[in-house]
Each structure stands twice: as structure tokens, then as C-alpha cells.
Amino acid sequence: MIAFEFTDVRKISKRYLQKFGKKAHEEIVKVMKKAGQREVNNTKSRLMTRSTASGDIYNKVADEVHFEIVGDSQQDLPTLRFGAGENFTGVKGSRGGNIALILAQGFGGATVPDTGLFVKGAKKVGKKIFLSPGKELPPRPAESAFLEKAMKNIPENLEREIPEALRKAFDKVEI
């Protein structure tokens, strides 16, 4: 899950919420839903273009990307939650790791433990391979096509679209 900070959209939105209550809240939620769905589609597309095989890390995370709007108080702005996995906890990979977290933050590399490691599904579905003790697993940088890009796009879009939608809905009423 990622959280966003806004600049002037909070002031403008709060003024409309105080004056128009439920109607303003509905307009804000409508804009947030559009922006959330647009970014889900864009993120899925970005991840799928990075995918090299069906069922790889990009493909699995792309299948789980979603958003939700929370907060039904008409006195405060709702919150847009964006991420991957059930309840935004990430996506579990075949080895048990959180692959959405690996895409979001990267992986610093590791050394296979002294007992070795069996990996299921490597290269071919159902095949098991044994990683020798002491083998170095390479680091992986964060994937900017996932959360980094969404964290940039969503606030920019909301800061532009929410005030515009509120002014349009309320006939350019100045608050």
C-alpha cells in the first residue's frame, strides 16, 4: 500500500465538503475512482511489457494490482489505497517471498544457506532445482514501472482533476 500527500487539493476540497457535503464527497470519490482505475490499467500495462514469460514475477504482480477508496465521512477526504495482493499485503511468489515487495523496493541479494535450497517451478513448471550452499543470489533493483510510477502519477492526476471536477459540478462557485 502507498500513501499520498497532496498540496493545495486538500484546502480546496475541504471547503467544498463543508459547503456542499455529500454531493461534494460523491464528486471527489468519482474522480478518485477514475484516477485509481486508470493507474491500475497503466501499471498492469507497464508490468506486462516488462514480462518475459507467462507466470513470471511481473505477470503475477500485474494480475493482483488494484485500488480501493476508503473513508465515507463526508467531513473529510476519502483515501485512495493502491497496491497489489489481498488487502494490499503483496503477492506471494513460488518460493514464499513477497514478489510485489521485491518489485517495489528491490532485493539486496542473498547467500543460499548451508543446507542448500530446493526451488520449485524454476525454468519449467513442476521442475525442482537444488541451489548449492553458498551460492550467491544476485541483487535486484526496484522496478520503477510498479509503485514508483504510480506514486508519481496518482497525486499529480488528483491534484489536477479534483478541483476541476468540483468547480464543474458546482458551476464554478467560488468558495
Q: Residue 85 corresponds to which cell in the numbers above?
A: 495482493
Within 10 angstroms of residue 100's Cβ, the number of other Cβ atoms is 25
Residue 2 CB-density burial (10 A; 0-12 exposed, 13-18 middle, 19+ buried): middle
d(CA 146, CA 61): 9
In this prediction, residue 1 carries a pLDDT of: 47
In this prediction, residue 93 carries a pLDDT of: 83
d(CA 129, CA 126): 10
Please say if the pLDDT value at position 98 is more than 80: yes
Please say if the pLDDT value at position 72 is more than 50: yes
d(CA 10, CA 163): 9
In which residue are the cell numbers 492526476 written?
157
Please say if the pLDDT value at position 54 is more than 90: no
In this prediction, residue 129 carries a pLDDT of: 62
d(CA 60, CA 56): 6
d(CA 116, CA 132): 5
Q: Average pLDDT of the chain? A: 79
Q: Calculate the CA dihedral of residues 107, 142, 51, 89 and round it to 10 degrees.
A: 80
Please say if the pLDDT value at position 97 is more than 90: no
Please say if the pLDDT value at position 64 is more than 80: yes
Digit-coded pLDDT (tens) for 16-46: 877 887 788 888 889 999 999 999 999 999 9
Q: What is the mean pLDDT of residues 59-83?
A: 84
Residue spans per domain, the chain: 9-106+141-169, 109-139
Please say if the pLDDT value at position 79 is more than 70: yes
Digit-coded pLDDT (tens) for 123-168: 545 556 666 677 777 788 888 888 889 989 998 998 889 888 888 8
Q: Calculate the CA dihedral of residues 121, 122, 124, 129 and round it to 10 degrees.
A: -90
- 65, containing H or E segment: strand 65-70
How much is the pTM?
Answer: 0.75
